[in-house]
Structure 1
Amino acid sequence: MTDSGAVLPWLVIRQDGNGNCYRVGRYATEAEAQKIADALDGRGHQRLYWVERVGRTAR
């Protein structure tokens, strides 16, 4: 839970061209997180975006 009391178990993760991973944001639903990841991935940069649930291991 966050300080506001909302549960945000879905993460959007970004991997850059050097293999470094960064958390982009946390979201309430998988669909919401996937929508953000798809929009960011569609920009054409050499970055990889994916969605994972909090507590699961990264790629």
Structure 2
Amino acid sequence: MNDGSTTLPWLVIREDDGGNRYRVGRYATRAEAEKIVDSLEGRKHKQLYWVERLGQKSR
């Protein structure tokens, strides 16, 4: 879609050491979101990252 209303239903979520959760980004496909998680986890930080669908109950 080029009309500016593209749906981005897949979220990458990050949880820090204090249990605070942040949305890292929104993506069109689960595969794209998982690729971002893989990239972030490869940075040797001890943060927790995961993918969830918009509207899905959080962990």
TM-score normalised by the chain length of structure 2: 0.91
Q: Greater Rg, structure 1 or structure 2?
A: 2
Alignment-derived partner of residue 21 in structure 2: 21
Provide the rounded CA distance (Å) in 2 between the counterparts of 1:20 and 1:45. Answer: 15
RMSD of the TM alignment (CA)?
Answer: 1.2
User: For the residues of structure 1 that align with 2:41 and 2:20, how far apart are their CA atoms?
Assistant: 16
Could you list the structure 1 runs, at least 4 aligned residues long, displaced by more than 4 angstroms after superposition: none
What SS does structure 2 have at the residue aligned with 1:11?
A: strand
Point out where structure 2 has 5 or more consecutive residues left out of the alignment: none
| Residue 32 (structure 1) aligned with residue 26 (structure 2) | no
Q: Identity over aligned residues, as a percent?
A: 65
> Which segments of 5 or more consecutive residues in structure 1 lack a partner in the other structure?
none
1:51 corresponds to which residue? 51
